[in-house]
Amino acid sequence: TAGITQAPTSQILAAGRSMTLRCTQDMRHNAMYWYRQDLGLGLRLIHYSNTAGTTGKGEVPDGYSVSRANTDDFPLTLASAVPSQTSVYFCASSDSSETEAFFGQGTRLTVV
């Protein structure tokens, strides 16, 4: 069972470059989320989507954009990476905003 898949697993990115983190789920979940996880801090919500065609800003959206063209895919784009965006990024999905979330395996991004 695939569940929710992220790519790449890890990446080193030069500052100023753009990059898209991919996220795909096969559970037909309506809601999808992007979080970043930094040492000593809780997971912080970057962007979310409650259903295909809609997106919303989370707690730390600046420097990131998302799209939700269909139910399965929820890519996260960094337009011009900065070192402070070095983090582990988790994509998650849930059947609705009222149920538990399932997480992808994470993308470890280092911006140098």
Partner 1 sequence: GQNIDQPTEMTATEGAIVQINCTYQTSGFNGLFWYQQHAGEAPTFLSYNVLDGLEEKGRFSSFLSRSKGYSYLLLKELQMKDSASYLCAVRDSNYQLIWGAGTKLIIKP
Query: Interface with partner 1 includes 97 (CB under 8 A)?
Result: yes
> Segment contacting partner 1 (CB under 8 A): 15-23, 60-68, 77-85, 99-107?
99-107
**Virtual CA dihedral for 93, 95, 97, 100, nearest 10 degrees?**
-70
Residues in 35-64 at the binding interface with partner 1, rule: CB under 8 A: 35, 40-45, 48, 58
Binding residues for partner 1 (CB under 8 A) = 35, 40-45, 48, 58, 90, 97-98, 100-106
